[in-house]
Structure formats: C-alpha cells, structure tokens
C-alpha cells in the first residue's frame, strides 16, 4: 500500500504546487537531488522512526520514483478530465523528478548488486542477475528520456524526432513492471504474501492502463491487449506459487511455535553441548543460515553465515541476536520493519540449538 500512498501524495503535491513547479522547475530538481544524496548518505540506524521509514521504504526502495513514473505513464489515458490535464501539464517535470529520485534506489542497491554483477556474479542468484541487468538497461533508456524532457533541450529538437525518441518510454514502463515483479518474486516465492499485495497494486494499475490505452489507441489495441495478458500471466503465476509457499511458511511457523513452547516448558531440563552448530530457516528473501556457539552449556555467540536478505533489513534484524543470547532462548520478539528477516534468524538459531541438545 506504500505505492498508493505515494501516488496520492505525489498528486496532491503537483496539484498544490503546479505553478511554482512550472515556473521554477530547476529549484525542485536541485531539491530532489539533495534529498536523494541525503537518503543515500543517511545512517542505517538511529534516525527518527518516520524519517527512517521514508528513507528505507519510500526513497531507497524506489517506491516514490515508481509512483511518479506511473503517473507519467497514465497521463494520456487518465479518464478523469481535471486529473488528466494536471498530469499532462506537469509530466515533463514529473518525469525528471522521478528519474532523479531513482538515483537513491540505484546507488543504494547498485553499490552491492551492480558490483557483484561485474566482479563476482556467482554470488547472485538468477532472479537478482536478471533484475540487475534490467536495471542497467532501464538506466540506459532513462538517460536520453530524461535529458530530452528538459524544455531547454526539447525546444531544440525536431518534434517528430522527439516523439519518436519518447516511444522508448513504453519499453521502460514494461521493463519497470518486469523488474518489480522479479524483485517481489523473491519474497513472494518464500511465502510472504504481504509482498504479493504490493505487487497486486502494481499489476492492477498496469492492467487498467493497458485497457484504457487499447480503447483510446485503436492501432495499438492488439499490442496493449497482449501486454495486459502478459501482466496477468506474470501476476497469476507468482500468486499461485506464492500461496503454496505461504502454506509451507505457515507450517514452519507452527512447528517453530511448538518447539519454542516445548523448550519453555522444559527450560530447566535443557542442556546444550559445547560446540559450534549451524541452522537454516527461511528469511525474507530466501535461506538464512547461522552458526551458534555454545560454551559451558550457554549460547555465547551467534553469527549470520549466509542470507539472501538485503542489508537494509539485516541491520535491524540483527537486534534479535543479543536478545537471544541474553534470554538464552529463541522466545524473543521479532523486529518491527524487519519482521521476516528477524524471524528467519530466530528460526535458524532454533534449528541450530536442536542439534546442540
């Protein structure tokens, strides 16, 4: 639902500040660049909750940029006359601001995934390789589209050539949906249906857009319908496999609850053998593997050995580790904002402790 909130806020922002944005666009571009840079440089921990949420979930993840691109995309087919007028009048500035906000997303994630793509591709799974490649293609497309959106450049171009170049934006929008579906598929296929809800919003918007476009542009009707079917197919496939994974995830949850309950009731009788033990469980984006060190019958150290989860979640999720050590038990609360990653750590520690009995 973050996307819906971003769409509403963006619409309200451009409606309220349409004249200043048109008259002093450069100031808004500079402000966007500053916000992007500050978001990338922001400390990973210690920020006020609201600021931390906006940086991690709205700016860094590209949700705001995606919302702005969607508004630019639907501008020409929007059925509401006043809204269509607003979007058409401001979509040039909106597209530039959206492109500048993608700096946050591309730098935040690119410094890991782009580097791995070119230096150690074996550390990335197939989905992330495709997602990274698509990101690079989208950046290449975005550069000329953004540059030619500046009025000072657009005025110097031949109108027909400008329109022809802008057709690349449709390729960009299509790749954007595929990129989002790939990224979301990692957690959806691990049984996290909250991510499926996010993808549902994107799929719904794209399908409605393609239907409206098919009605308005008869020459492109067949192409629009084909793309709408493709979006439906991608979404339906992920939903089917996601629900199956969710059932397995719930079963794992019940098993963990039973184990924890048993450990709690017999806590005084449990003794752990000294040594280093490993355990694995499902995190947010895949398998989470930890090592647990037992010394004198107590948990003394917990290390995360391997995980597919992004660092932005792990930074907060790691807070469960000192709690587990302090309580000498996996009966601890998950971390808000990193629920699945912290739950993955707790479960993996639980599996390791089973080996230590």
Structural domain boundaries in the chain: 2-246, 270-356
| Percent above pLDDT 90 for the chain | 46
DSSP reduced 3-state for 148: coil
Over its C-alpha atoms, the chain yields an Rg (Å, rounded) of 24
Backbone region of residue 275 per phi and psi (left: phi > 0; alpha: psi in -120 to 50; beta: other values): left
DSSP string, 210-242: HHHHHHH-GGGHHHHHHHHHHHHHHHHHHHHHH
Q: What is the helix (H) or strand (E) element at residue 280, kind and residue range?
A: strand 275-282
Under 8 Å between Cβ of 175 and 134 = yes
pLDDT range class, residue 266, cuts 50, 70, 90: very low
End-to-end Cα, the chain, rounded Å: 44
pTM (global) more than 0.75: yes
What would the CATH number be for the domain defined by 270-356? 3.90.1010.20
Q: Residue 181: what pLDDT?
A: 95
pLDDT range class, residue 334, cuts 50, 70, 90: confident
pLDDT range class, residue 174, cuts 50, 70, 90: very high
For residue 318, what is the DSSP state?
Answer: T
Instruction: Name the one residue in this structure whose structure tokens are 């895949």.
Output: 286
Under 8 Å between Cβ of 323 and 332 = yes
Q: Residue 258: what pLDDT?
A: 60
Average pLDDT over residues 310-315: 76
**Angstrom distance (rounded) from CA 325 to CA 145:** 53
75-110 pLDDT, tens per residue?
989 988 899 999 999 999 999 999 999 988 898 888
Closest by CA position to 213, among listed 73, 4, 7, 70: 73
pLDDT range class, residue 255, cuts 50, 70, 90: low
């Amino acid at each position: 639902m973050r996307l819906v909130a971003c769409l509403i806020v963006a619409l309200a922002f451009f409606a309220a500040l349409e004249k200043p944005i048109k008259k002093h666009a450069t100031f808004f571009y500079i402000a966007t660049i500053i916000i992007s840079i500050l978001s990338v440089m922001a400390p990973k921990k210690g920020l006020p909750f609201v600021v931390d949420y906006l940086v991690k979930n709205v700016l860094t993840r590209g949700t705001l940029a995606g919302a702005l691109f969607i508004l630019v995309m639907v501008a020409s087919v929007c059925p509401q006359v006043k809204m269509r007028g607003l979007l058409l009048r401001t979509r040039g500035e909106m597209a530039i601001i959206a492109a500048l906000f993608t700096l946050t997303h591309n730098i935040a994630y690119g410094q890991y995934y782009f580097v791995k793509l070119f230096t150690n591709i074996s550390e990335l799974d197939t989905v992330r390789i495709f997602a990274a490649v698509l990101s690079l293609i989208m950046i290449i497309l975005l550069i000329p589209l953004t540059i030619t959106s500046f009025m000072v450049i657009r005025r110097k171009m031949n109108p027909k050539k400008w329109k022809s170049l802008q057709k690349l934006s449709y390729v960009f929008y299509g790749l954007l949906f595929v990129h989002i579906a790939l990224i979301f598929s990692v957690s959806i296929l691990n049984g996290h249906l909250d991510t499926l809800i996010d993808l549902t919003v994107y799929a719904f918007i794209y399908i409605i857009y393609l239907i409206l476009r098919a009605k308005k542009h008869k020459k492109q009707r067949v192409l629009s319908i084909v793309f709408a079917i493709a979006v439906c197919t991608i979404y339906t496939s992920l939903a089917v496999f996601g629900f199956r994974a969710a059932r397995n995830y719930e079963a794992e949850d019940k098993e963990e609850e039973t184990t924890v309950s048993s450990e709690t009731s017999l806590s005084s009788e449990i003794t752990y053998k000294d040594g280093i033990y490993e355990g694995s469980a499902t995190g947010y984006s895949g398998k989470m593997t930890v090592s647990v060190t037992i010394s004198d019958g107590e948990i003394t150290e917990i290390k995360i050995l391997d995980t597919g989860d992004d660092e932005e979640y792990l930074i907060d999720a790691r807070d469960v580790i000192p709690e587990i050590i302090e309580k000498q038990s996996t009966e601890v609360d998950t971390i808000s904002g990193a629920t699945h990653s912290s739950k993955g750590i707790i479960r993996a520690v639980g599996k390791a402790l089973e080996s230590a009995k």
